[in-house]
Amino acid sequence: MLKTKLCEILNIKYPILQGGMAWIATAELAAAVSEAGGLGIVGGGEAPPEVIRNEIKKVKSLTTKPFGVNVYFLSQFVEEVIEILIEEKVPVITTGAGNPGKYIPRLKAAGIKVFPVVSSVALARRLERAGVDGFIAEGMECGGHVGELTTMALVPQIVDATSLPVIAAGGIFDGRGVVAALSLGAVGVQMGTRFVCAKECTVHPNYKASLIKAKDRDTVLTGYHGHQVRVIKNKLTKEFLQLKEKNAPAEEFEKLGAGRLRIAAVDGDCDMGSVMAGQVAAMISQEQTAKEIIEDLVTGATRVMENLGGFFKEDN
Ligand code: TUI
């Protein structure tokens, strides 16, 4: 058994969220994770509002369990997407790459739970005042757009700064990571990278193969200060490195990066696309169903707890 107060708040069996990854976390994956007792989350990304509405309808056709949608705040469609989430009565939203503060009153009025991703204490403090329901504290071990702090340093600082529930993300792969996150004061975990290799994930097979092949030092941060993105090393990251070496302006990084996630995730070009993945990619050795992944997390965490108990016995 693995239960925390997050299970009650979100009405889920296990305190495990699947990251709402743009172009990757489609309805099929989100529904499978929710069916397995976690919280599946559709990655809204930069998709047009009607595409997101269709994904929501598809999740609803595949599961009656709660699910979420991630809103990407650099999307040009944020306003319209928020409208759709309210119309469709999506149970939970997570937000990334921006401050959802001004939308909170409308979302709360619609009964939607809001869990923004934060990578700093200052933003968490601001958003607690704005009325969010909790936080996802994302360390820089994560794939994609990341902050500066590691999970180990960030999570306890967010926990200490707020009275709201905190979910840890970044560098979590199995039961060991789950127990570590709970030790830091989190009441749940969010995992993206491992769920990319779920059987139900519709990402291009080449993308899954890149993650399965990855070794410990195969991810790298690309981009420029304040806009760092963790990806698997490939031809594209070599070009990013060249831009960095010549101190290129931000616009050149933006131009090189534009549309690259779709190229990897949908077209399957893992040489010149952005293969976003966290540092735990190296630990993935095979595709598994969402149910197998969640069962592994729960049994693994239980085993870790039993072993840890021994360290605190008097006759040790
Ligand atoms: O957003 C992420 N991870 C991402 S975004 C992304 S890039 C993408 N590409 C194409 C389509 C869609 C997305 C890949 N991975 N994680 C959440 C996250 N949010 N990390 C950091 C932040 C963040 C940054 C600044 C949150 C708030 C923030 O606030 C700025 C402010 O206004 O104070």
Distance 306 CA to ligand 1 centre (A): 37
Q: Quick one: 239 and 97 in the same domain?
A: no
Q: Quick one: 64 and 162 in the same domain?
A: yes
Q: At what angle do helices 151-161 and 175-183 cross, to 10 degrees?
A: 40
Can you give the pTM of this predicted structure? Answer: 0.97
Q: What is the residue whose two structure tokens read 């040009």?
A: 76
Residue 260 inside a domain? The answer is yes
Q: Quick one: 220 and 167 in the same domain?
A: no
Residue 90 inside a domain? The answer is yes
- The one-digit pLDDT tens for each residue of the chain (316 residues) are 899 999 999 999 999 999 999 999 999 999 999 999 999 999 999 999 999 999 999 999 999 999 999 999 999 999 999 999 999 999 999 999 999 999 999 999 999 999 999 999 999 999 999 999 999 999 999 999 999 999 999 999 999 999 999 999 999 999 999 999 999 999 999 999 999 999 999 999 999 999 999 999 999 999 988 899 999 999 999 999 999 999 999 999 999 999 999 999 999 999 999 999 999 999 999 999 999 999 999 999 999 999 998 899 887 6
Q: Quick one: 292 and 180 in the same domain?
A: yes
Instruction: Read off the DSSP letter of residue 314.
Output: T
97 lines ligand 1 (CB under 6 A): yes
Q: Quick one: 24 and 123 in the same domain?
A: yes
Q: Quick one: 84 and 219 in the same domain?
A: no
Residue 60 inside a domain? The answer is yes
Vertex 98 angle, CA 201 and 83, to 5°:
75
Q: Which two tokens stand for residue 70?
A: 């991630």
Residue 314 inside a domain? The answer is no
130 lines ligand 1 (CB under 6 A): no
Q: Quick one: 21 and 58 in the same domain?
A: yes
Closest Cα to atom 26 of ligand 1: 97
Distance 140 CA to ligand 1 centre (A): 12
Q: Which of 17, 71, 72 to mutate to test the pocket of ligand 1 (most atoms within 8 A of CB)?
A: 72
Residue 27 inside a domain? The answer is yes
Q: Quick one: 122 and 250 in the same domain?
A: no
Q: How many domains does the chain have?
A: 2
Contact in structure between 114 and 95 (CB atoms under 8 Å): yes
Q: Quick one: 213 and 197 in the same domain?
A: no
Residue 238 inside a domain? The answer is yes
For the residues of 48-100, what is the DSSP string, one character each? -HHHHHHHHHHHHHH-SS-EEEEEETTSTTHHHHHHHHHHTT-SEEEEESS--
Domain CATH number, residue 198? 3.20.20.70
Supply the range of the domain harboring residue 153.
9-203+285-304
Closest ligand 1 atom to Cα of 22 = 12
Distance 88 CA to ligand 1 centre (A): 24
Q: Quick one: 162 and 264 in the same domain?
A: no
Q: Quick one: 120 and 245 in the same domain?
A: no
Closest Cα to atom 28 of ligand 1: 98
Q: Quick one: 173 and 32 in the same domain?
A: yes
261 lines ligand 1 (CB under 6 A): yes
Q: How far apart are CA 204 and CA 66, in angstroms?
A: 26
Q: Which of 145, 151, 195, 266 to mutate to test the pocket of ligand 1 (most atoms within 8 A of CB)?
A: 145
For the chain, report the end-to-end CA distance as a whole number of angstroms. Answer: 26
| Helices vs. strands in the chain: H and E counts, helices first | 14, 11
